[in-house]
Chains A and B, each alone.
Chain A
Amino acid sequence: MLSLIIWIPLLAGLIAAIVPRRFAAPVAGSGAVATLALVLVVLVGFEPDGGMQYVTDVTWIPGLGVDYNLGVDGLSIFLILLTAVAWIPGVLFSASRNSGGDKAGLYYLMLLAGETATLGAFLAQDLLLFVLFFDLMIVPFYFLFGIWGKDRDGVKASAATLKMIVFTLIGSLLMLVGAIALAVISADGGELTFNMAELAAQGLPTGSQNWIFWFFAVAFLVKMPAFPLHGWMPDAYRAAPLPALAVFSAVLSKVGAYGFLRVVLPLMPDATELFQTTMLVLALASIIYGSVMAFTKTDLRLILGFSSVAQLGFITAGIFALNTSGGEGALLQMINHGVVVVPAFLIVALISERFGSEDVAGMGGLAKKAPVFAVVFLIVTMATLAIPGSPNFIGEFFIVNGLFETDVAIAIVATVGIALAAFYALRMYQLTMHNPLPEGADSREISMRDGLVVVPMVMITVVLAFCPQLIIDGSEPAVDAVVAASQVEAAE
């Protein structure tokens, strides 16, 4: 079942690459929809208290102790749902703008290969399989950003993507060494296994945890991206084609945060405990730095990019609060951010079609003739700044609540971050939608076709605002189990 979920997108992508160009988009779209349908089937049969479910475990490379081991639990179920959902507008919007151009088949192959790798990373229960999918994720996006990206502001797309892949792989190659070292050391001469549950049971000497922790942490922080490892982000975001960037920003960054919950906390509890404060300070730095940068940038993509840095900072802070409230909030916020970012980037695409640029300096007045469009964007903006009544408010509330239990000073600084979010989000909205409409710009209402792509995502935000319990109930037992690992260590 889970194998189907992982491989159907790739299969659809391969078919899309072979069939004549005009069929490529429908094939890719149906692949994404089929994936979502299967994920929904899994969701219906999912038991919150059932631990690891739908397990597939076959030996893959017996010589090296690597298994093809998939499973879904409360940590991953909503993230795979997010992935499956987010890819649909990504594919549809690409289809409506013909983003693939004359290489459409290849474009959809890469886009859907990205979905396969991301789902694989969320579902892998074998540490090495996780590392493999984690590495694999970046490859299709390298092609997507490099081939279909645009040279902007004097930055060549190929150079920007090269920077991105080198940055991310610095992290993930060290993670490969870390994963192997983790398995070898904890096996202690016995049978080598990469099964995460068994690794957690075997335990790892504290001394080894301390350096392996950073091999993993760097990989995840780069992926997010978190300050100060975000250097690849501005260039890559500027170059990327927007539909691909939307799914990239919505989902791939979450794999980093998910990695902390799935790998670091359960397998390296001592080191997590030891470096808790360091990680919290890094998270705060991300929040402040991201917010300030988002406030100063005028390029819409960069405003959203740096706001993601800040949001991921919140998520990291929630995880390293190391209590249920923080972990719950982090997971909720991962979903919220993903759901909000996809329409946000698509709206950027729509705005830039109306102004011919993505720089807010020359914008304004879009709301004048496009009330529906303005409302849609307003909801997205309000969710970004976590206004009470938005799902983000609930997520951030949980996180800050968790942080107060851990460290009051850090919680107070994090609260400042929430206030900063209001600045950059409202500024972005005002500069595009309010003020007089500049010459030559075209205030058009959102078209039916685009509305059908963007509005359902926004609707999900609204639904989540009213029923966050859907996610909390489903994931609580799993989050509890994860944070419990390090709490036990703390109690000892």
Chain B
Amino acid sequence: MIFDSPTIDYAALSPIIALTSGLVVLVLVAVFDSVKRFGSALALLTLAVTAGLLIWQWDTNTDLVAGSLHFDGISVTLSLLCVVSAAVAVLLSIGDPAEKQSGRSDYLALLMGSVLGMVMLTQANNILTFFVALELLSIPLYALCATNLRKRDSLESGLKYLIIGSLGSATLLYGLALIYGVSGATEFPQIAAGFLGDGSTESVNELISDPLALVGVGMVAVGLAFKISIAPFHQWTPDVYQGAPTPITAFMAVATKAAAFASFIRFFLVALIGLVDSWDIMLAALAAFSMVVGNVGALAQTSLKRMLGYSGIAQAGYMLCGIVVATQDGISALVFYLAAYVAMNLAAFAVIVVHERQTGFSDSISSLRGLGRSKPLLAWPLTIAMLALAGLPPTAGFIGKLYLIEALVDSDWTWLGVMIAVGTMISLVYYLRVVAAVWMSPETEASPADGIDTAGLPASVAGAPAADEFTDPQAHRRWYLVLPAVVGAAATVFFGVIPQPLVEFAQHAVSGYVT
């Protein structure tokens, strides 16, 4: 009797292996006090190796682990985005009180775990790996949100995220079960085949009219919408963004979106492609609703992080349009926009981190007054990030919108393109308010009233001293904080002027995808 030993493509699996080893090493290192302080370096090394391996496997297009993972252009591009955001999060976390309180290695190990989940999610090609990866991504994030143990906001944000996130996961799982029930398969391509039946029009029509399938699709969409904060499943976003330690907010805002959109692509554009006519209008409505809710919600915000939370809801709406059109152009427009979004958001969050450390954790927009005069190295990246988020040329944000609208108009979704334009107009008001605060208001004496109102909080939570005693007046001289801001802003402008490399990056994402 001869067994064929399963072939394992170690080369294509190597990014996941590297991340897992790094994670294990980080946990082990925590035992030894003497090497503990090299945690950040170790984490960065792991991420660098992972990124290197991903680039090495750039052109790979293959099934892994008996088809439960699929490695292709989508995985490699979106994984890279996740890894880059994680590296920035590690840099921004150096010296953060949250990181110190939770024990450096634990904090970093949780972060690595989440990245591992994301990288797996971009490759997940099977209902089970899909769900496992999604939970691996989410659970460490729940904990990370709450790592600033001495701040009530942080604990509240962790709990809120946990409860709402679990609700999303449960909905998703239920939806997956229903889809399995209808299609009788767990792997995405087979689900597609199951839905298509013998491929005839009748079998498709029969399925579309199957309420079980539609409910399943709807629940999966809702579950994923929770993760990328698409309205009306967005309520957690502003609170969690504001309460979580800012490096974690930055990581959540960009990397989670990149990974969750990968699963959106795999799930809707591979597994459910046969049902496209029944879900596209549903997703289009969600996208349009998100743009309205996010943009209008952001108008009234005084906290930068909350504002970016709402803006993230609107931006998720724009990006969802790339799924709606269900074409190769749509996917690459989405990937391009995500890449631009990563650059501009990380630049903005890096500035917020520095600013918070200098002012004792104030992230109110009015506390930015006079930044243009006093710290141009912070003011410029923030300005560029805001102009890019608002979609003004010459930034990658403009090209991203152009790409998305082109994909939309090309597939007769012009009204959604007009929605993007209208949303962008509203968004100008709140993005430019930040720019105006930075450049156009005289510097005011920093008064505590500008910041988050800490007076109402008890001086200590759980017996620990208040966290806002921590300030670092020299934060704007720390290279590991300023570098991400400057590089992010420079990339935003660079890809706005010379977008072709990023366009090719985005088009690589669809290289393995066949409609």
Contacts and interface: CB of A to CB of B under 8 A. Distances in A.
Interface of A: 60-64, 66, 103, 128, 132-133, 135-136, 139, 142-143, 146-147, 157-158, 161-162, 165-166, 169-170, 173-174, 176-177, 180-181, 184-185, 192
B439 interface: yes
Nearest to A65: B406
Given A61-B399, A62-B500, A177-B421, A166 B428 contact: yes
A346 to B, nearest CB: 24
Contacts of B421: 173-174, 176-177
Among A63, A169, A170, A174, residue most surrounded by chain B Cβ atoms (within 10 Å): A63
Given A176-B421, A181-B414, A162 B503 contact: no
A136 B332 CA distance: 25
A63 B432 CA distance: 30
Contact of A143 (B373, B405, B439, B500): B439
23 contacts: A61-B499, A63-B504, A63-B506, A63-B507, A64-B399, A64-B406, A128-B402, A132-B398, A133-B393, A136-B392, A146-B436, A147-B439, A157-B440, A158-B436, A158-B441, A161-B436, A161-B440, A166-B425, A169-B392, A173-B421, A173-B425, A177-B421, A180-B405
Contact of B433 (A143, A162, A177, A181): A162
Name, among A136, A162, A177, A180, the residue most crowded by chain B CB atoms within 10 Å (CB to CB). Answer: A177
**In which size bucket is the chain B interface?**
35 or more
Nearest to B390: A169
Given A146-B436, A176-B401, A181 B393 contact: no
B215 interface: no
Contact of A61 (B428, B441, B503): B503
A158 B500 contact: no
A146 B393 contact: no
Contacts of B504: 63
B393 A61 contact: no
Given A146-B440, A162-B436, A173-B425, 18 more contacts: A60-B500, A61-B503, A64-B499, A132-B398, A136-B394, A158-B441, A162-B429, A165-B428, A166-B428, A166-B429, A169-B424, A169-B425, A169-B428, A177-B409, A177-B414, A180-B406, A184-B409, A185-B409
* Dominant secondary structure at the A interface: helix
A60 B501 CA distance: 11
A337 B425 CA distance: 31
Top 9 closest pairs, chain A to chain B, by CB:
A63-B503, A173-B421, A158-B436, A158-B440, A146-B440, A136-B393, A132-B393, A184-B409, A177-B417
A143 B386 CA distance: 14
B317 to A, nearest CB: 16
A185 B412 CA distance: 10
B409 to A, nearest CB: 5
Contact of B402 (A64, A103, A185): A64
B418 interface: yes
Contacts of B398: 132, 135
Contacts of A185: 409
Interface in B428-480: 428-429, 432-433, 436, 439-441
A162 B373 CA distance: 20
